Amino acid sequence: MFEKIRGPVLLFVLAFMVSGSAYAKNLKPRLLLESGDWKAYMLTENGHKVCYMVSQPKQEEGNYKRRGDIYALVTHRPSENTMDVFSYVAGYSYQNGSSVTVSFGGRSFKLFTQGETAWAEDAATDKKIAAAIRSGSNMIVKGTSSRGTPTKDTFSLKGSGAAYKAISKECGA
């Protein structure tokens, strides 16, 4: 699975998440841990630590011809006092005004979309999603592409607890 998470691709995802600016492509993430189906990284942005954990789906469903790389991330930015920020990169542009559902067994959360990325509405929801990732066994993300194609991605959460501990320790969370 992780053979798909390559430096340049991961840097692109991070550059998009960090700020979308040109300098972001010069960031060099350092692998903290690979555990189960998750990897934990740290990088320095403008002299400040950014720690994140990332995974890709075990199963992708949808009637699409072409789709880019898919990533689920949890990010800590202690210099901005933000922890547990959940983001989801779909590998396609979302339908305007659409929302995404992320589910863990019986619990579901609604995310808002912009371009190829979906986020929680607030920090409280981010914290709940991060906790569900650490304690669950799988995560299902459902969204709709700009062409109206529904998708369903299933993630294993194996190793997410260890990855979360690694980013939290590194970033002092």
Task: State phi, psi for 63 to the nearest 5 degrees.
Answer: -95, 70
E strands of 71-165, at which residues? 71-77, 82-89, 99-104, 107-114, 117-120, 138-144, 150-156
- pLDDT attached to residue 118: 97
Q: Please say if the pLDDT value at position 102 is more than 90.
A: yes
Copy the structure tokens of residue 16. Answer: 């998009």
- The pLDDT score that the predictor gives to residue 133 is 97
Angle at which helices 123-135 and 160-170 pack, to 10 degrees?
130
At 106, the pLDDT band (50, 70, 90 cuts) reads confident
**What integer best gives the mean pLDDT of the chain?**
87
**pLDDT at position 27, please?**
73
pLDDT digits (tens, 9 = 90+) for 129-160: 999 999 999 999 999 999 999 999 999 999 99
Terminal-residue alpha carbon distance, the chain? 28
- Band (pLDDT 50/70/90 cuts) for residue 26 is low
Confidence of residue 28 (pLDDT cuts 50, 70, 90): confident
Length of the chain: 173
**pTM of the complete model:** 0.85
What is the pLDDT, as a whole number, of residue 14?
Answer: 47
Q: Which helix (H) or strand (E) holds 156?
A: strand 150-156
Q: CA–CA separation, 55 vs 123, rounded Å?
A: 21
Nearest one of 74, 143, 154, 67 to 110, comparing CA atoms: 143
Average pLDDT over residues 62-84: 93
Pairing of strands 107-114, 150-156: unpaired
Which domains, from first to last, does the chain contain? Answer: 2-170 (2.60.40.1880)
pLDDT band at 34 (very low <50, low <70, confident <90, very high): very high
Is pLDDT of 75 > 60? yes
Q: Check pLDDT > 80 for residue 12.
A: no
Please tell me the distance from the alpha carbon of residue 67 to that of residue 90, in angstroms, as a whole number: 8
